[in-house]
């Protein structure tokens, strides 16, 4: 089967049958939209792929359609249902079951980020800068609570010293103003580190992770703030963009970030989801003989702590 054998329906008729609504995701070949099947009034996912692309890419699309067609009548509840595909021009619409919860990656990132923000709201009200926000310093308890840990380099702000100048933190997560010689910073440095941590959770590593720590320190103040690619949700990208503003005074507070669309989307999900994740993880460790080790590929310290005041 090839793409030309897909059901051809004029564009107008496809849009009569399906109403395309908001964008919910974007990938290498196209985008995914929430939609409505106007005949059944069922909510569906509409994956719109661009066939006007490299031949190898079209081959991948054909392979996906073939697999989906084989699974069309699957009774498995754990496989996304496929309802058909329609070709018009260079666009291929693939109609699939809509999963309202979205990607588990976005769901868990939003839940964890929400809880870290709660911790930062408390710390910042106490005039404390954590100065080492990163995934390794975010813990999950057995009952699903998210806890911020490692206050070894935290800084206290006072009425007479509302800013700090210490060069402290883990290089890849450090805000530009922490790195710049002679610059001062406050609690907004934690907001930058949180933005880097969100990228770390989304992609598995922070920006510049392939570089040595010293090279990363040189680049961070001189290059534009990192951003997530379009394949990530617009709300997640917006959150990262808000956190990673070169101008620290223009970054929102932790309290203001709680009102962002990405975090508000997590409000309907209880921490029980994290508790379930922990339970399954513990079961996995017991059944697979879990082994874990970490080694810094650059042989550099995991955290810099050079105090200048």
How far apart are the C-alpha atoms of 32 and 21, rounded to whole Å?
10
Q: What's the gap between Cα 217 and its chain centre?
A: 23
Q: State yes or no: 47 annotated in a binding site.
A: yes
CB atoms within 10 A of CB 129: 27
End-to-end CA distance of the chain: 69
Active site residue 52: no
* DSSP-derived secondary structure letter, 155: E
Which of 16, 37, 132, 186 is the catalytic position?
132
- Six-digit token pair at 277? 């994740």
Q: Are 94 and 65 in contact (CB under 8 A)?
A: yes
Pick the closest to residue 189 from 149, 150, 221 (CA basis).
221
Known binding residues are: 47
Known binding residues for ATP are: 47
Q: Which residues are catalytic?
A: 132
């Amino acid at each position: 089967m090839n793409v030309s054998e897909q059901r051809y329906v004029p564009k107008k008729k496809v849009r009569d049958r399906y109403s395309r609504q908001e964008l919910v995701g974007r990938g290498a070949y196209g985008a995914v939209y929430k939609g409505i099947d106007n005949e059944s009034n069922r909510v569906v996912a509409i994956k719109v792929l661009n066939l006007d692309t490299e031949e190898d890419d079209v081959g991948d699309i054909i392979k996906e359609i073939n697999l989906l067609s084989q699974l069309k009548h699957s009774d498995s509840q754990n496989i996304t249902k496929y309802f058909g595909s329609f070709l018009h021009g260079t666009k291929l619409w693939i109609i699939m079951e809509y999963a309202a919860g979205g990607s588990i990656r976005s769901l868990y990132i939003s839940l964890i980020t929400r809880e870290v923000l709660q911790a930062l709201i408390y710390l910042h009200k106490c005039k404390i800068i954590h100065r080492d926000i990163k995934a390794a310093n975010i813990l999950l308890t057995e009952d699903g609570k998210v806890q911020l840990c490692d206050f070894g380099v935290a800084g206290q702000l006072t009425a007479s010293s509302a800013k700090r100048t210490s060069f402290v933190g883990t290089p890849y997560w450090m805000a530009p103003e922490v790195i710049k010689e002679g610059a001062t910073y406050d609690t907004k440095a934690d907001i930058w580190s949180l933005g880097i941590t969100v990228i770390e959770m989304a992609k598995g590593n922070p920006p510049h992770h392939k570089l040595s720590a010293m090279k990363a320190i040189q680049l961070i103040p001189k290059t534009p703030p990192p951003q997530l690619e379009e394949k990530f949700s617009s709300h997640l990208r917006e959150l990262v963009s808000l956190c990673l503003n070169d101008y620290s005074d223009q970054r929102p507070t932790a309290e203001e970030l709680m009102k962002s669309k990405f975090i508000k989307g997590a409000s309907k999900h209880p921490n029980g989801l994290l508790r379930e994740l922990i339970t399954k993880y513990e079961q996995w460790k017991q059944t697979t003989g879990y082994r874990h080790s970490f080694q810094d590929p650059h042989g550099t310290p995991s955290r810099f702590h050079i105090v200048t005041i």
